[in-house]
Structure 1
């Protein structure tokens, strides 16, 4: 974590690419999912613990706005950057980027909702505190 932002390095493997040897678009979704999971771990909140200790609490992607700006290729080392953008009662929006060096390849705003038994629930206070959205 650096100033409320999580940085995750990822290497591109053959399995991440398509027939053109470029990263398949859905692979970026997996990379960003890892970034969100590791953000929670970095603030010492494991999703498995939330689920087990809070009666089945889980986060689900509610909405994603994504912009593909460039393509990565096999063996590239990418960086997934994840930071809290907005916190609401039962949802939060995270801003994510996938970079190769200083080049931004993909940007996304991802809204996730806290749910239990299929219904939205308030995000736990300890997680709100740990992921406090910086003031502008």
Structure 2
């Protein structure tokens, strides 16, 4: 099931032509992932105390159509796979039914040392059942 998060395009998100600057799509999908995790009930503050973090390992992005100043967008987040230390998400930015941007995002669980860590079973359950 897709998580949907609304985003309004502000002037600060655009270039001089009023088109969303490409790097801001990464901010939009980060917000979408953060809200998805929050709605799942995943306590990232607790994870941090336990020395476990999620880090972006890889992003495959496609810029399909431009978003414009004052557009109302939706960021969709859908989990594709959750394995031992990895979570792969498909994210899309839409204006109405029109797909503007897609990204396949690979997250990895890492310890404070920077080494990969297995995703704890309770967190894996939230990511797959949420």
Does the pair score TM above 0.5? Answer: yes
Unmatched segments (≥5 aa) in structure 2:
none
Unpaired segments of 5 or more residues in structure 1?
none
TM-score scaled to structure 1, two decimals? 0.90
Question: CA offset at residue 127 of structure 1?
Answer: 1.6
Q: Distance in 2 between matches of 1:42 and 1:125?
A: 18
Q: Deviations over 1:39-79 (max 9, x none)?
A: 11011013223112x2x211111011000000111110100
CA distance, structure 2, for counterparts of residue 48 and residue 22 of structure 1? 35
3-state DSSP class of the match of 1:24? coil
Q: Where does residue 109 of structure 1 map in the other structure?
A: 104
Q: Distance in 1 between matches of 2:45 and 2:12?
A: 26
Which one of the candidate residues 35, 42, 45 is aligned to 1:45? 42
Q: How far 1:133 sits from its partner (Å)? A: 6.7
Q: Find the aligned partners of 2:71 and 2:43 in 1 and give their Cα distance.
A: 28
The two structures, once aligned, show a CA RMSD in angstroms of 1.4
CA distance in 2, matches of 1:46, 1:11: 26
Give the length in aligned residue pairs: 129
Aligned partner of 2:122 in structure 1 is 126
